[in-house]
Amino acid sequence: MGSTGSIVLLSPHCDDIAYSLGGSLAAAKLPLERCQIHTVFTRSVYCPFGELPETDVDGITALRLAEDHRFAEEVGVAVNHYDLPEPLLRGGYPSLESILVSRDRASCDPILDAAREVMLRIKRDRGPSCVFSPLAVGGHADHWIVRLAAESVFEGMIVYYEDLPYAGYFGEDRLAGELRSLPPRSQAIILPDDGWIEKKLALLKVYKSQIAPSDIAAVIASARRIGGERVWFRDVSAAAAAGIAPQRQEA
């Protein structure tokens, strides 16, 4: 399908694409007319700044979906939502801390089957030529599950993005350790910040039920360190299908 197929941007939650690729979308570093955001885990009780009781699943879910719609509208990209429940709603995760896990632990979560079904549906209905997946920096269970499900369905099509704000909280050594989960011989591409950072920060404010000042600081720190937003790929054809050219050497 080359450079005519759709570009699927997998977002574990409402806000992940804005965090990790929001600058590149704001500055049209990706071909917006071919991009589609697909947000997988939308049933939520997480709403630290939303003034809703944490038992109000429907209210919190609706608020977060509305934020995601508004972001997509602002950047001019289509968005699709699936209704998988976040860890605190599906059992096996007794606390917020417990949702940060290893790849092995995530691979045993029964919700992985439902995530694979979502990926198969996207593949069948959208026929993507490139799929952006979270790398799962920071180890959020849902980020791992989206990555594992994507890897089982979209072989040879994946470009990984570094999960923010998590990556922005880590020092160089910790981040280098997290990047070791990449497939062997992965290469990086930096989508440079040529003045989009203020626009990105403005777009992140759309998610006001979610984002703390420290998260914004982590986004800024990451953009400064990297010089933009960084993505990784093993298959050159995947990066080529997204219209982004390699600039850096092997990991």
Instruction: Note the residues at the interface with Zn ion (CB under 5 A).
Output: 12-13, 16
Q: How far is the CB of 41 from Zn ion (least distance, A)?
A: 8
Using the minimum distance from each CB to Zn ion, give the nearer residue, 16 or 241: 16
- Kindly state the smallest distance separating residue 12's Cβ from Zn ion, in Å: 4
- Identify the three-state secondary structure at position 99: helix
Smallest distance, Zn ion to C-beta of residue 49, A: 16
- Amino acid at site 93: Y
80 and 40 Cβ atoms separated by less than 8 Å: no
**Residue 28 structure tokens:** 């049209």
Nearer to Zn ion among residue 70 and residue 248 (C-beta): 70
Least CB distance to Zn ion at residue 184 (A): 26
Residues 6 or more apart whose CB falls under 8 angstroms from that of 171 comprise none
DSSP 3-state of 93: coil
Q: How far is the CB of 218 from Zn ion (least distance, A)?
A: 14
Rounded to a whole number of angstroms, the minimum distance from the CB of residue 235 to Zn ion is 25
> In terms of CB distance, is 16 or 193 closer to Zn ion?
16
Which is closer to Zn ion, CB of 100 or CB of 182?
A: 100
Whole-angstrom distance, CA of residue 140 vs CA of residue 155: 22
Q: Is the dihedral of CA 159, 167, 216, 206 positive or negative?
A: positive
User: Which CB sits closer to Zn ion, 3 or 107?
Assistant: 107
Nearer to Zn ion by Cβ, of 86 and 193: the residue is 86
Return the bridge partners of 230, or none.
190
Nearest residue (beta carbon) to Zn ion: 13
Query: What does the alpha-carbon distance between residue 205 and residue 15 come to, in Å, rounded to a whole number?
Result: 10
Here the tokens at position 197 are 């950072």
Q: Rounded to an integer, what is the distance from CA 238 to the centroid of its chain?
A: 17
